């Protein structure tokens, strides 16, 4: 299955680290849930291949209770290659 969406990159910070994420739209999350019913990997993760711009990579999305969706972590290499598409817009921290 293939999904396309425009999403906002946001930063989550802790005392010693920071991570960049995209929260997937609800319809995409619902589709992933429908395709992956039953037991999942650690933390409820689902393996995917993600693409931003011209960069694709294998990763996992993780369920998030707050939004009822899935979070897609955006690694530094992707943010560097796709800097025009991966600007930080929001901040979330502990």
Per-residue pLDDT reduced to its tens digit, 35-62: 887 666 667 889 999 999 999 999 999 9
Taking CA atoms, 38 is separated from 23, 32, 74, 80, in Å, by 22, 12, 26, 36
Maximal C-alpha separation, the chain = 37
CA 37 to chain centre: 19
Per-residue pLDDT reduced to its tens digit, 68-91: 999 999 999 999 898 876 665 555
Q: Are 50 and 72 in contact (CB under 8 A)?
A: yes
pTM over cut 0.75: yes
> Which among 5, 59, 57 is positioned nearest to 29, based on CA atoms?
5
């Amino acid at each position: 299955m293939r999904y396309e969406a425009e999403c906002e990159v946001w930063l989550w910070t802790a005392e010693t680290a920071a991570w960049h994420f995209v929260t997937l739209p609800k319809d995409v999350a619902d589709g992933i849930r429908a395709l992956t019913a039953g037991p999942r990997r650690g933390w409820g993760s689902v393996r995917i291949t993600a693409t931003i711009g011209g960069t694709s990579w294998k990763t996992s999305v993780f369920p998030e209770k707050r939004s009822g969706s899935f979070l897609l972590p955006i690694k530094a290499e992707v943010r560097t290659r796709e800097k025009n598409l991966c600007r930080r817009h929001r901040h979330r921290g502990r």
